[in-house]
Amino acid sequence: GGADRFLDFIERELKPLIAGLAPLDPARQALFGHSYGGLCTLHALFTRPGMFQTYLAASPSIWYGERVVLSELAGLAKRTAALPGKPALMLSAGELEQFRTRGPAPQGHEAVAAERRMVGE
CATH number at residue 91: 3.40.50.1820
The mean predicted confidence, pLDDT, of the chain is 87
Give every CB contact of residue 24 below 8 A, 6+ residues apart in sequence. 15, 18
Is there a domain that residue 107 lies in? no
In-domain check, residue 33: yes
In a domain, 51, yes or no: yes
Q: Average pLDDT for residues 83-111, to the nearest whole number?
A: 76
3-class DSSP state of 90: strand
In a domain, 121, yes or no: no
Return the amino acid letter for 101: T
Give the chain's domain count: 1
The DSSP symbol for 107 reads S
pTM equals 0.79
Residue 52 structural domain: 3-95
What pLDDT, in 10s, does the model give residues 38-71? 999 999 999 999 999 999 999 999 999 999 999 9
Residue 21 has a CB neighbour count (10 Å cut-off) of: 7
